[in-house]
Structure 1
Amino acid sequence: MTTPLTVALVTPLTGPDAAQGLAGLRGVTLWARDERLPLPWDEVSLTAYDAYPDSAAAMRAAVAAGPDALLGPYGHRAALAACASTDRVVFNTGAPSTRFVRQAFPNVVNIAAATSTWPRGVLAAVRAADRRARKVVLLASGDTAVEITSVTKAAAVAQSFEVASHVFPPGKAALAATRLPPGDILIVHAGPDDELAAANILLRRPWRAAAFSTAVSAQATASLGDLREQLLAPGSWMPESTQPTATGPTAREFTADFTALHGVAPTETAAWAYVTGLILGRAIRYCGGVQDASVLAAARGIDTTTLLGRFRLDEATGLQVGHQIPIVQWQAGASRTVWPRESARAPFAHPRLFTSRPGMASRTSPGTPTPTQPRTPPASRTLPTT
């Protein structure tokens, strides 16, 4: 006798995050259609619960229905409330945060690397190309300001940088930017409007490298003009990648299947939701059951690659450490992946060119070299990625 695997997805289907939640639902729907599980399961039966406006209530309703597996919501606040409301195992579909450490949430399976970890890649790329850079200046705002500050400081210590961090209230970016001290590397993590306001002030200074969390978007950075050149940012996934995987389809195959089923191209949120299903399926095949303790133990032992890269959980923290957030750099009007090296699509251009005032062409910093300005010709150096 066969039976369906019952899966509950708790995610916003209405409200301000509905677009992301619905994208996740589409991703899980595709996985449910294609997953092939061993007997006794002959299909995946998926039920979605609207996490808006009360994600904890939605999670309780999902748990009451007694599903075999639970997938958690998009959005940090929604996920924190939802996961805190149950002791069932929850696969963290759309809230990559260091707050979901095993010590605080022992039953959460983290699928993606925490969003706040992206400065690690920036600092690693800079250090690989530049041994002289010393001071990192961090400007942060929003719900994850404390988290991004903590992660950046830890990464800086590991790469022999010193950090000056500054947290500001949303909407006060321009004022905070004018008070920011000089340094070698600039990292800004805030909302799109605040980052744009800060960029128009800070990118006229001669930073050796500058990174903004929302700068991967062409629309968000279009008004910066030449100031955008050589900016770094946390990247997204690559839908056309044909890189082989150990679990599930390649990114290109997933993109084609998703588009054929839903009539729209997949977003990164949809891709992560789909990968959540892949990891759940692999854990069930490994342990041969759906009991929470067995599935959790199986997930903790998985080390594989999917269309979004490597999956591996840290034994001590339960955070995702296999996946690395790619770093992109704007080069000649296009964002190109430059880190990690094995995923790079272009060499990392360093040190950064900058524009000192509106209307001027990009150039390197003039004047006598200082300890943070090595004696090099006034043109960017391009280092190989291998």
Structure 2
Amino acid sequence: MSSSLTVALVTPLTGPAAAYGLATLRAATLWARDEQLPLPWDDVNVTAYDAYPHPAAAMRSAAAAEPDAIFGPYGQRSALAACAATDRVVFNIGAPSTRFVRQAFPNVVNLLSPHSTWTRGLLAAVRAADRRARKVTVLVASDDRALEVVSVVRAAATRLGFEVTSSVFRPGRAMIAARRLPPADVLIVQGDPDDETAAAEVLLRRPWRAAAFSTAGHDDALTTLRNRRDGLLGPRAWSPQLPAATGTGPSVSEFVAYYRRMYDQLPAATAAVAYTAGLVLGRCIRANGRADDRSVLAAARTLDTSTLLGRFRLDRATGLQVGHHSHLVQWQDGVARVVWPANRAQSPLVYPRSRIGVAGQQRTMTAS
């Protein structure tokens, strides 16, 4: 006897993060259309629950419907509240954080590596370009991510021979804190888009050899800086322009084509993560022919595969995603180009920042 696999998607459908939530819903719906499961399932049914403004209540409503699987919400605070409200297995599709370690959330399946780990790639890229750089200064908002970001930076800096100075600011006061930052070779800023833009207005007047902002990897971030954005570095969880070999599901180009055909727009990274969550769920079900939480979680913990998002592999001790890694992009001639890791780079890192205009002229001369 055939039946539908039921998936509950807890995601913001209204409120300030609605665009991200709607992107995850579109992608989950596309995956449900494409997924081919073994019997007894003949199709997949996705039901969305609005995580705004009460993610815990939305999660309780989703769990009460007894779906086969649950995908969790966008945003760290929402995801923490939602995952704490249930003992069901939740695929974490929108909150890449070290907070979701197995010891605290034993039933969470993390799709992305923790967001803060992008700073490791940044410092590695700088060290590869400059053996003499020594000082790093970090400006970070006093939110849920502050301690995580500073801890990751300090650990990576110690390993690579950097000295770190950190400064924490209250949201809305980034410009004041920026004026007080000491000089350094490398600047790292972590905050919301408005705070990072305010800090940039002050900080980009200074001669940092490398400057990185956590939102700079997004095409719609820091747009008011215009051409001053050139040279900035930032993380990008996924890029539709970078091909990747896949062992599970469609290639990047195939997914982009499917998504554009269905919705007449390019998929955002949040859509790629939600679609990948479905691919991983399907792979786990096919591994043992069961869709119960215990079987799916056991399969996910041992799964090692490649998807359109990159490699999927959970750390056995922490449950954090260690297969996937964010790309480091740099704005060059008005375009965000992947510059790290080197084996996936679309363009060499321009270093120091002061060379960005010279590098652009050289590319123009080469092209002509």
Q: Is the shorter-chain TM-score for this pair beyond 0.5, marking a shared fold? A: yes
Q: Does residue 67 of structure 2 align to residue 50 of structure 1?
A: no
Cα distance, 1:111 vs. partner?
Answer: 0.4
In 2: Cα distance, 1:225 partner to 1:23 partner: 27
In 2: Cα distance, 1:262 partner to 1:228 partner: 30
* Letter of the structure 1 residue corresponding to residue 36 of structure 2: R
In 1: Cα distance, 2:232 partner to 2:247 partner: 33
Counterpart position of 1:250 = 251
Counterpart position of 1:159 = 160
Counterpart position of 1:91 = 91
Note closer, same or farther for the CA distance 1:46–1:222 as it changes in structure 2 (3 Å cut).
Answer: closer
SS at match of 1:271: helix
SS at match of 2:32: helix
Q: What aligned pairs does 1:282-321 form with structure 2 within 5 A after superposition? A: 282-321=283-322
Cα distance, 1:229 vs. partner?
Answer: 2.6
Q: What aligned pairs does 1:32-43 form with structure 2 within 5 A after superposition? A: 32-43=32-43
Counterpart position of 2:366 = none
In 1: Cα distance, 2:223 partner to 2:63 partner: 45
8 Å Cα contact 2:111-2:277 kept in structure 1: yes
SS at match of 1:207: coil
Cα distance, 1:199 vs. partner?
Answer: 1.6
* Letter of the structure 1 residue corresponding to residue 276 of structure 2: V
In 2: Cα distance, 1:177 partner to 1:354 partner: 24
Counterpart position of 2:151 = 150
In 2: Cα distance, 1:138 partner to 1:229 partner: 20
* Letter of the structure 1 residue corresponding to residue 309 of structure 2: L
Gapped regions of structure 1 (runs ≥ 5): 356-361, 365-378, 381-386
SS at match of 2:221: helix
Cα distance, 1:219 vs. partner?
Answer: 4.5
In 1: Cα distance, 2:307 partner to 2:55 partner: 28
Q: What aligned pairs does 1:195-206 form with structure 2 within 5 A after superposition? A: 195-206=196-207
8 Å Cα contact 1:241-1:250 kept in structure 2: no
SS at match of 2:353: coil
8 Å Cα contact 2:227-2:334 kept in structure 1: no
Cα distance, 1:218 vs. partner?
Answer: 4.6
In 2: Cα distance, 1:333 partner to 1:47 partner: 40
8 Å Cα contact 2:157-2:164 kept in structure 1: yes
Q: Which structure: greater helix fraction?
A: 2
Cα distance, 1:198 vs. partner?
Answer: 1.6
In 1: Cα distance, 2:44 partner to 2:338 partner: 36
In 2: Cα distance, 1:66 partner to 1:237 partner: 32
Q: What aligned pairs does 1:1-386 form with structure 2 within 5 A after superposition? A: 1-141=1-141, 142-353=143-354
Gapped regions of structure 2 (runs ≥ 5): 363-368
8 Å Cα contact 1:12-1:52 kept in structure 2: yes
Task: For residues 317-351 of structure 1, give each alpha carbon's deviation from its aligned partner in whole angstroms, at most 9, with x where no partner exists.
Answer: 11111111100011222211000112110111212
SS at match of 2:158: helix
* Letter of the structure 1 residue corresponding to residue 275 of structure 2: Y
SS at match of 1:10: strand
Counterpart position of 1:384 = none
Counterpart position of 1:373 = none
Cα distance, 1:236 vs. partner?
Answer: 4.5
Cα distance, 1:186 vs. partner?
Answer: 0.6
Cα distance, 1:159 vs. partner?
Answer: 1.9
SS at match of 1:335: strand
Note closer, same or farther for the CA distance 1:354–1:21 as it changes in structure 2 (3 Å cut).
Answer: same
8 Å Cα contact 1:136-1:185 kept in structure 2: yes
Note closer, same or farther for the CA distance 1:192–1:3 as it changes in structure 2 (3 Å cut).
Answer: same
Cα distance, 1:291 vs. partner?
Answer: 2.1
Task: For residues 219-247 of structure 1, give each alpha carbon's deviation from its aligned partner in whole angstroms, at most 9, with x where no partner exists.
Answer: 43344355323211112522244432111
Which stretch of the first structure deviates more once superposed, 41-50 or 105-114? 41-50
Aligned length: 360
Note closer, same or farther for the CA distance 1:226–1:270 as it changes in structure 2 (3 Å cut).
Answer: closer
In 1: Cα distance, 2:53 partner to 2:220 partner: 29
Cα distance, 1:109 vs. partner?
Answer: 0.3
8 Å Cα contact 1:206-1:354 kept in structure 2: no
8 Å Cα contact 2:217-2:234 kept in structure 1: yes
8 Å Cα contact 2:218-2:236 kept in structure 1: no
* Letter of the structure 1 residue corresponding to residue 8 of structure 2: A
Which stretch of the first structure deviates more once superposed, 201-210 or 313-322? 201-210
In 2: Cα distance, 1:13 partner to 1:64 partner: 19
Counterpart position of 2:365 = none
Task: For residues 268-292 of structure 1, give each alpha carbon's deviation from its aligned partner in whole angstroms, at most 9, with x where no partner exists.
Answer: 1111100110111111111221121
What is the aligned-residue RMSD (CA, Å)? Answer: 2.0
Larger Rg: 1
SS at match of 1:289: coil
